[in-house]
Amino acid sequence: MEIKTATLDEIPQIERLYQELFLEMSILQPKYIKPAKQDANFIRFTIIEDDSDILIATFENEVVGFLLIKETTTPPYTCLVEHKYAFIVDVIVGKHYQNKGIGSAY
């Protein structure tokens, strides 16, 4: 297994994992989430922009999981010291690869 930053070539595999993620989320929260396909342009934008990345886990050249991380700045409240921080937006390990330590490798 290898953890690396996603490239544009991996978009189709990331799209498939997003479908799996959205399906699982719809089962857990059917009132708010429905099965869907993630927009490829969203994935492309996330990969090419400087303030976000998708880290992928690969096994035998297959993307088996990913983590989307985004950088942002604190809101402009007078009581806050402005700084940048990162937060995880989405994370998934494909169903067939779960419980193998992939998620903890991120």
- As a dihedral over the C-alpha atoms of residue 7, residue 9, residue 13, residue 16, rounded to 10 degrees, the angle is 100
**Could you tell me which of 57, 60, 59, 71 has the C-alpha nearest to residue 105?**
57
What's the pLDDT at 63?
A: 97
d(CA 17, CA 92) in angstroms, rounded, equals 7
Average pLDDT per consecutive 10 residues, the chain (106 residues; last block may be shorter):
95 97 97 96 97 96 96 95 96 90 73
What's the pLDDT at 44?
A: 98
What's the pLDDT at 105?
A: 67
Contact (Cβ atoms closer than 8 angstroms) between residue 12 and residue 38: no
